[in-house]
Amino acid sequence: MLKVHRNEPLTPTDLVELERIFVEAGVAEDDDIARLRAEGGLGRFVRFVRSLVGLDRQAAKAAFSGFTAARNLSAHQIEFTNLIIDHLTARGEVAPRLLYESPFTDFDPLGVAGVFAGDAAEELISILEDVRRRVAA
């Protein structure tokens, strides 16, 4: 689960190992694992675990490091980005739609689209989607 907390991608081998651990620990039986696989695998469960433990702050900052380094951000934009990082740290992921709701609309009524021009807003959303994808192999 350390990989999940650090936003490191899980491999199919990692997921098989998690399945084995759950069965050996008596948390799940083979039928449970088969049902999880049929319902999309452990990815959904791993996302749930991350929602409980959050995302490592350094991992959240690292996810945005290229974005922030490539731009001369205003104080307003830095604060907005830091709010995203705070949410990732607390909740493990941020659905892109939330960037158009409070508290993100407290910066601008249009949320991320009002704080960042077109491509930058799309890149922020892409980063959030990448963070979410990393919990599934």
Closest by Cα among 69, 67, 70 to 112: 67
At 88 the pLDDT is: 95
Residue type for position 53: V
pTM attached to this predicted model: 0.81
Phi, psi torsion values for 18, nearest 5 degrees: -60, -45
pLDDT in tens, 40-55: 777 777 777 788 889 9
Residue type for position 42: L
Residue type for position 113: A
At 137 the pLDDT is: 52
At 41 the pLDDT is: 73
Residue 134 DSSP label: T
> Which residues of the chain carry a pLDDT beneath 50?
none
Kindly state the tokens that stand for 40.
Answer: 């999309």
At 34 the pLDDT is: 84
Contact, 111 vs 104, CB < 8 A? yes
From CA 25, how far away is CA 20, in angstroms rounded?
8
At 9 the pLDDT is: 82
At 136 the pLDDT is: 64
Q: Taking the C-alpha atoms of 23, 28, 34 and 36 in order, what is their torsion angle to the nearest 10 degrees? A: -120
CA atoms within 13 A on the CB side of 119: 3
Kindly state the tokens that stand for 43.
Answer: 């990815």
